[in-house]
Chain A
Amino acid sequence: MAPPTSQKRRIPPTDDFEHSDVSDDDFEVGLLDGALSQNEDEDEDDEEYELDSSGEGSEEEDENEDEDEDEESNSDSESNDPPKVTAKLSELAITKPDKFESSRKIVLDSAGNQRYIYPEIDPVYDSDDTDAEETNTIGNIPLDFYDEYPHVGYDINGKKIMRPAKGQALDALLESIEVPRGWTGLTDRNTGTGLKLTDEELEMVRKIQMDENIEGYDPYQPTVEYFTSITELMPLSAAPEPKRRFIPSKHEAKRIMKIVAAIREGRIVPSKPKEAAKPQFYDIWADELPPRPDHIMNIPAPRLPPPTHDESYNPPKEYLPTDQERTNWEELDPEERKKDYLPRTHSALRLVPGYDTFVKERFERCLDLYLAPRVRRNKLNIDPESLLPKLPSPQDLRPFPTTTATVYRGHVGRVRTLSCDPSGVWLATGGDDGTVRVWEILTGREVWKLQAGEGGEAVHAVKWRPGRDAAILAVATGDDVHLVIPPIFDPETEAASKAILAAGWGYAEIVKKDPLKKEPPAKWTKPEPHQQELGTAVIVSVKHTIKHITWHRRGDYFATVSPEGQNRAVAIHQLSKHASQSPFRKARGIVQRVEFHPFRPHLFVATQRYIRIYDLAKQELAKTLLPGSRWISSFDIHPGGDNLLVGAYDKRLLWHDLDLSTKPYKTMRYHSKAVRGVKYHPGGLPLFCSASDDGSIQVFHGKVYSDLMENALIVPLKVLRGHRVEKSLGVLDVEWHGRECWLFSAGADGTARMWN
């Protein structure tokens, strides 16, 4: 690389003299050069030559000498002295590579000449710094760090690179106004001056931006075929061409012969021959097997039904729809229509139009065939009447009550209860008005009346004592049971009755003396004199309202039910001793009714859901019946003792066979309202009845066979309607006559009726 001095020298002499202050020597030399040389380039060459020669061998020196001679010939001012020349050369050698001066050592050799010893060069990468440009070494830091310094950085040798002289403020202004050519607005990091682009560079930038070819680049250079462009004069291999290149292949001939043979033999054909067209149809059932029975899962599609008269193009006139039917049909959705066409009539065949939904109907049939689920349905082809159960005709089951025979009118308000006396002549009724009335059954005449309930208390139950020896009527009103002897019987019976009732007083006296005994569940008292006059003989009071009374068949005991009484709901009273006892220690549900078994020492207690049967002799629970109803209203025991009839407030009537199961044998739900009373006929007729709030009494034939294997036969016989429904109450109680098929009913409409 040329040293700075030589660079300076390149400045042409025509330049201003302002540069002269850089170095006087150079100036003089320059002046000299400019005066001496005709060609600047030549001069340059010379100098370069001089530089090169400095490190080269001796022959170049010779050339130098020649040149020098030329110079000398050109100018006479220089001396021709050879030692001078050498001296000059050496001088040059010394002076020129300034940069080496610091690193080399100068020693004197044995001859006393100067000898330069250079430091050893470590031949690593980058060790050659000959092409190192003059760069600023500060690295990638902002230049304004150096703003307050006179220099802008350091060169490779650690020397300061001085900030170039800046123009005046005016120049800066001018520069900012008039953008000079090539101005980029950037600062050259290396020099600190503004970075300017030359015209060529600008042009190149423009071309790159415009996607044009840069000058000097030829996009259509002729291709140079790398291999074929060079023709080798000599072959690469000297091997001779093999023979196989010149003779036909045997292997190929063999293969071709094979193919030819195959073609000749017909193994290979130009295209696959069409299979000889078999007849499309043949006798597919030629070897048909005997028909097999149909599989149960095979359900053939049903055939479409054949057309009926109304599909005719000319149907009888009566098949044509009326206007009403037509509008009805048109208003219906197509899916809901019974038939997909309306009958039409045409007077001649030529007037029949095409059927516009023909394709659609066929399509729907197709859909039905493959999409509709098929199921085998047994079509019942029976007379619906045959479904009706064969019942014996009611005519054959006579007698049974069918009509109202007598109406007993007199009660004010509901008639709650009634009872038919053992002799079958008198009927006692009790009602909401608190009276007990005794009627002559056949005539309907009221023969006796007693205001039993004091202060308008209703009479909830009346019951005649069984047995014909006496005539005692138990009347339940409020918490009391009045044992009454109605003064309508003959004196002997009356006396006997009084004797039965009075017998217990003495016994009660004895018992009372025993202080250890607990308080009895009931108190037996003598009624007031005025009550005695009216017929009341004894009053038994318990602590809760009595709703039901039932007598033991012998007439010595009777039981009362007061549902609110908890564990004392049921009380059993003994006439002969004037004693009462409460058989249950603890309450098990609200007791509805109790009954004595017709001949066994059993007590049936009905709570809301269950009926419990207690064995009084063994004093244990014998059985629990589950009628399955929500709320039992009443029940009755068949005189045979093995069947039980239960009526419930949820409209059900249940027949229990005690031998069969604890569940009902038959459940009958045909009352539209709650069932209030059920009763078997006590006198041997196979009848029973149920009374309901819908105002009807239903009478059934209920035959119990003595054969244990045969179930009871139940035949509905008659629905008796006559009682009015008042405040959603209909018939409140029913009772059969002791022998005849007479039925008594007490209604909420204030009447009692006899049916026969």
Chain B
Amino acid sequence: MGRIKKKGTSGNAKNFITRTKAVRKLQVSLPDFRRLCIFKGIYPREPRNKKKANKGSTASTTFYYTKDIQYLLHEPVLQKFREHKAFAKKLSKALGRGDYSDAKRLEQNNKPQVKLDHIVKERYPTFTDALRDLDDAVSMLFLFSNLPTNHNLPLETIANCEKLTNEWQHYIIRTNSLRKSFLSIKGIYYQAEIQGQDVLWLVPYKFAQNVPVDVDFRIMHTFVEFYSTLVGFVLFRLYTQEGLVYPPKFDEEADARGAGLRAFSLEAKSIGLLPATGKGQKNTKAMTKQMATLGEKIASLEEAEDDTNTDMIQEEDAAAGEATIDTFKPVTTSGADILLQPHMGNVGTAGAADPSCLFAPFTFFLSRETPRPPLEFLLRSFGCKRIGWDLVLGDGAFTENESDPSITHQIVDRPPVYQAALPPVPESDGDEEMEDASRSKRVNGRIPGRIYVQPQYIWDCINIGKLLSPNEYGPGTLLPPHLSPWVKIDEKTYDPTAPGAAGGEESEEEDEEADNGMDEDLESGDEEEEEIGAVILGPENEEEEESEDEEEKAQQEYQRELEAEAAGVKLPVGNKKKDKKKKSKQEREEEEQKDMQKIMMSRRKRKLYEKMQYSNKQKEDEVENLREKRRKLDKEKKKAKA
């Protein structure tokens, strides 16, 4: 006989430690422990045998992996926490004595700073690991950059988050790595592919966020502290690999004027400012300069207008059907600003071939009611270089002039208002020439020669990966449904785009039959009934009395339904029930055999089998529910048409 094993020295009892014990072992306060766990990414575990892990007690507790806690013992951050505790004592002592200068000096010189660099390296030993875990980090930073400050949330944190998110967006624009985006009721989802890793993040709509009382901002803040470090290091690496200087130059003045993304200017490592960003910077640098040149521009435009405008309109009409890109060729001739000239040589091919240059040949203009930041981000990351917007939306636009003839697409999100319904526009004194020029071009409040679309157009184009026909997206039209690009479609899921999504052609036929029945008189209904009755009676079985009864019942019910439908009254029972009743003999035999097989299963397997059947049934029901609704909608549509 071997040695008697002592209890609690191996296995679950040794591998897991309760939270209380962990806190005692580390000799920290619970909030400090929480911070430590968040920084180090330590999470509770679920031991396989709770009773053994808890030394025989079955009280519900949180368990940690013992080795996680053991490694924490030597954590430099833990040491910093202790230093901070000592510092806090000194500071409070100084303040208590009224020694404010001393306190200030202490705060300046002696305050321990927690550095999380080593933790980032430790948690993500390779860069790919870090990229894989960016979802939550980026979402969190985007949320925080949209929050108001409060006593828990200093301004610096928010500014830092905003800076990081802008840098993140710049990287994505530069590398064209955005893949998909989705307008949800929660916010806007984006998915980018960076070095083969998908990063999915959610950005809230630009509204004042509702901050509930029961949200503990200290926890969130700890997360943000770590995430901003992580994203900073990731961005550094990404920028460096792209040959850019990190951090990019940040123009505070421009930011104050609402330049958003344009407040940053990327810088190549060796050359200096990049040409693309140089343009941006120029834009931000002198608003006035642009205004000064505007007069010239318009003058030249007017010259060019005579020959270009008519062509444009024609081709616009043609384009309305197909949305081919070549319609906008003549725009190039109005070269007021040479820098801004798009290279139209390969327009048609570039847009079709590479989704990252989807919008490259176009000039967009954002009306003032559209959300600028997401649209700007999306358009720029899909190749669009020339985006103009109303001055209301901030600084840094390609053009603030709505009537700029180089604009090919205008994104509008307001109900269409016809000129006739509008009150006459009061004459303005200044810039009469310009006013006249713009007004002369407007037809029904729209400038001809460009495509007006609603914002959803951009998203749908991006998700499909090609330019869609803008017909369905015109201002004021009923938009097609906006679908999530992440739903994988297989046989079992419901595909709303499929033409026969309602499924079950037979059932539709049945519906039609029923409809017809409603229109016809009672006699024809009787005929039908007889027919069906004959069909049912055909495969009647002489052996089994019960099944006979059942089938009789089914028949009766079916008859009743038919009658009811003929009378115009709807029975709540669906078609499904009928189908069930009509189950053939073979099906029943199969079921019987399944029962037999179940007899021979072990209890454990049977439970598992039943569970799976249950969950499958739930899913099927959900899909069936959607199909049912779709069927109803289709029917209504048909009725409306007829």
Contacts and interface: CB of A to CB of B under 8 A. Distances in A.
A617 B204 CA distance: 91
B372 interface: no
Contacts of A282: 233, 236
Interface string A278-299: 0011111100111110000101
Interface residues of A, number: 77
A502 to B, nearest CB: 50
A300 B123 CA distance: 11
Interface stretch (A344-352, A423-431, A704-712): A344-352
A384 B616 contact: yes
B340 interface: no
B418 interface: no
Interface in A244-281: 271-272, 280-281
A308 to B, nearest CB: 5
B589 to A, nearest CB: 9
A306 B200 contact: yes
A291 B140 contact: no
A322 B130 CA distance: 43
Contact of B127 (A288, A292, A306, A371): A288
B607 to A, nearest CB: 10
Contacts, number: 244
B530 interface: no
A714 B456 contact: no
B169 interface: no
B232 A280 contact: yes
A319 B501 CA distance: 13
Nearest to A698: B599
A274 to B, nearest CB: 9
Given A355-B186, A369-B43, A387-B605, A362 B140 contact: yes
Given A285-B121, A348-B454, A359-B209, A314 B481 contact: yes
A347 B480 CA distance: 10
A405 to B, nearest CB: 12
Mostly, the B contact residues are mixed
A380 interface: yes
A394 to B, nearest CB: 7
A315 interface: yes
A300 B134 CA distance: 13
A365 B139 CA distance: 11
A366 B135 CA distance: 12
A373 B43 contact: yes
A5 interface: no
Nearest to B239: A281
A389 B133 contact: no
B244 interface: no
Contact of A318 (B120, B140, B414, B629): B629
B478 to A, nearest CB: 7
Contact of A387 (B109, B479, B486, B608): B608
Interface residues of B, number: 101
A357 to B, nearest CB: 7
Interface stretch (B79-87, B211-219, B305-313, B511-519): B211-219
Contacts of A367: 219
Given A288-B125, A394-B593, A349 B456 contact: yes
A383 to B, nearest CB: 9
A323 B641 CA distance: 26
B117 interface: yes
Contact of A366 (B130, B187, B220, B415): B220
B27 interface: no
A369 B38 CA distance: 8
A391 interface: yes
A281 B147 CA distance: 25
Contacts of B125: 288-289, 291-292
Given A284-B117, A403-B543, A716-B596, A347 B140 contact: no
Contact of A358 (B187, B216, B596, B600): B187
A361 B633 CA distance: 33
A319 B235 CA distance: 39
A187 to B, nearest CB: 64
Contacts of B252: none
B546 to A, nearest CB: 9
Contacts of B135: 303-304
B183 A312 contact: yes
A106 B633 CA distance: 155
Interface string B242-258: 00001100000000000
The 5 closest A-B pairs by CB, nearest first: A354-B207, A306-B486, A375-B46, A318-B629, A384-B612
Interface of B: 34, 37-38, 42-46, 62-63, 65, 67, 105, 109, 117, 120-121, 124-130, 133, 135-136, 139-140, 143, 147, 182-187, 189, 191, 200, 204-205, 207-212, 214-216, 219-220, 223, 232-233, 235-237, 240, 246-247, 369-371, 413-415, 454-456, 478-479, 481-484, 486-487, 496, 543, 592-594, 596-601, 605, 608-609, 612-613, 616, 626-627, 629-630, 633
Interface of A: 271-272, 280-285, 288-292, 297, 299-301, 303-304, 306-309, 311-319, 322, 341, 343-344, 347-350, 352-363, 365-367, 369-375, 380, 384, 387-389, 391, 394, 403, 668, 670, 714-717, 719
25 contacts: A281-B247, A284-B121, A284-B237, A291-B129, A297-B65, A309-B483, A309-B484, A315-B481, A348-B413, A349-B371, A352-B185, A354-B205, A355-B185, A360-B215, A371-B43, A371-B62, A373-B43, A373-B45, A375-B46, A388-B594, A394-B593, A394-B596, A668-B599, A717-B596, A719-B592
